[in-house]
Structure 1
Amino acid sequence: MRRRTTGAAVLTLAALALAGCGADSSASTSARPELKVTGAYMPTPSMDTMAAGFFTVTNSGGADTLTSVTSDLSDDVTLHSTRDGTMEEETSFAVPADGTLDFASGSNHLMFEKLTHRPKQGEKVSVELHFAKSGTLKISMPVQSATYNPKTGH
């Protein structure tokens, strides 16, 4: 009888320990996102009606989702991905916990359509990024040369 009681106690302790591990991991995934946006820019548009935008979101907290983008430059700002050379409109982008979401030339990007005006190099475009958990982040997107490369700064 004593062996059965000891075995049951060990199983109970193991179950409690596993439940505790599960609670810890769910706590980390439910942590509040801590977002920072860097490297934002817009290449000088080659057309009067359309422009692209790029930036990086760094998250040092729990997961979040970029759900939409708004700007005074356009009433029609959409999220796009590019895979194997094909551009596709997206409804949202996941921002991983303790990770990054990159919007870069040839990859994920913003499309500004039906521009209110054609921005020139040196201007700054106001953009609002809307996140599911973090709310709205306002950024200023400087307009760079059409051939700007953030890796070289030219």
Structure 2
Amino acid sequence: MTIRNILAASALAGAILLTACNFEPGPEAPSEAEAAMSEIAITGAWSRETAEGQNAGGAFMTIANSGSADDRLTGGSTSVAGDVQIHTVDMTDGVMRMRELEDGLDVPAGGSVTLRPGSFHIMLMQLDQPLQQGETVPVTLTFEKAGPVEIELAIQPVGSQGPTAQGAGGKDD
């Protein structure tokens, strides 16, 4: 018997033995990037109702990352609008301006970011129809590490500062 035949027979015997034992290789050890995962939780997601013909609306919420890796909100989608953008508001020459954050919004590991009127927010662009108070709107937000996260926006009245700003009577204080 040649060395080649011995090696072939050994390999065949090993394969038969592993098959007979129902052996399946275990998962590979996670890479460092996979081990340091982002864990995103979104709370208090809301938007304001929009008027007939208004083609954009803002969305607000708190995004918490309890994971050990920084993450980034990079975009999103919804069935009620043609585009979902991440925006901020800044002051330029005494004029407050809204601008898109083309690189997304950082969400630090172990931290959170609050999206609110006059600050960071999501814009629902090219609305198919007005957002109506009392309804909910499904939105999928996309994160660099966590991937897609589905939320429901609770539509609040025009001028609302959000669900937590409401007093016991259910109206804004």
Taking structure 1 as the reference length, what is the TM-score of the superposition? 0.76
2:52 maps to 1:41: no
| Equivalent residue pairs, number | 127
Show structure 1 runs of 4+ deviating over 4 A: none
Q: 2:61 aligns with which of 47, 55, 70?
A: 55
- Give the corresponding residue for 1:100: 112
Distance 1:32 1:45 in 2: 37
* C-alpha displacement of 1:46: 3.3
Of 93, 113, 125, which residue of structure 2 is paired with 1:113?
A: 125
Which residue type is aligned with residue 79 of structure 2?
D
* Structure 1 runs not aligned, ≥5 long: 1-26
- Asked if 1:81 is matched to 2:106, the reply is no
Q: 1 CA distance for matches of 2:81 and 2:165?
A: 29
1:105 is paired with a residue whose SS is coil
Contact 1:45 1:52 in 2 (8 A): no
Q: Indicate conservation of the 8 Å contact 2:140/2:150, yes or no.
A: yes
Question: What is the alpha-carbon distance in structure 2 between the residues aligned to residue 53 and residue 110 of structure 1?
Answer: 5
Q: 5+ residue gaps in structure 2?
A: 1-31, 167-171
Instruction: Please state how far the C-alpha of 1:32 moved relative to its aligned partner.
Output: 1.0
Alignment check: 8 A CA contact 2:52 2:129 kept: no
- CA distance in 2: counterparts of 1:102 and 1:50, whole angstroms: 20
Aligned to 2:137: 125
- Counterpart residue number, 2:165: 152
Cα distance in 1 between the residues matched to 2:132 and 2:57: 11
Q: Distance in 2 between matches of 1:82 and 1:149?
A: 16
- RMSD of aligned C-alpha atoms? 1.7
Post-superposition Cα deviations, 1:65-114, rounded to whole Å, max 9, x if no partner, equal 11111111111121111122221111211111111122100001111121
- Given the alignment, which residue of 146, 160, 173 partners 1:134? 146
Counterpart-to-counterpart distance in 2, 1:98 and 1:82: 25
Measure the CA separation in 1 of the matches of 2:40 and 2:135. 25
TM superposition shift of 1:45: 1.3
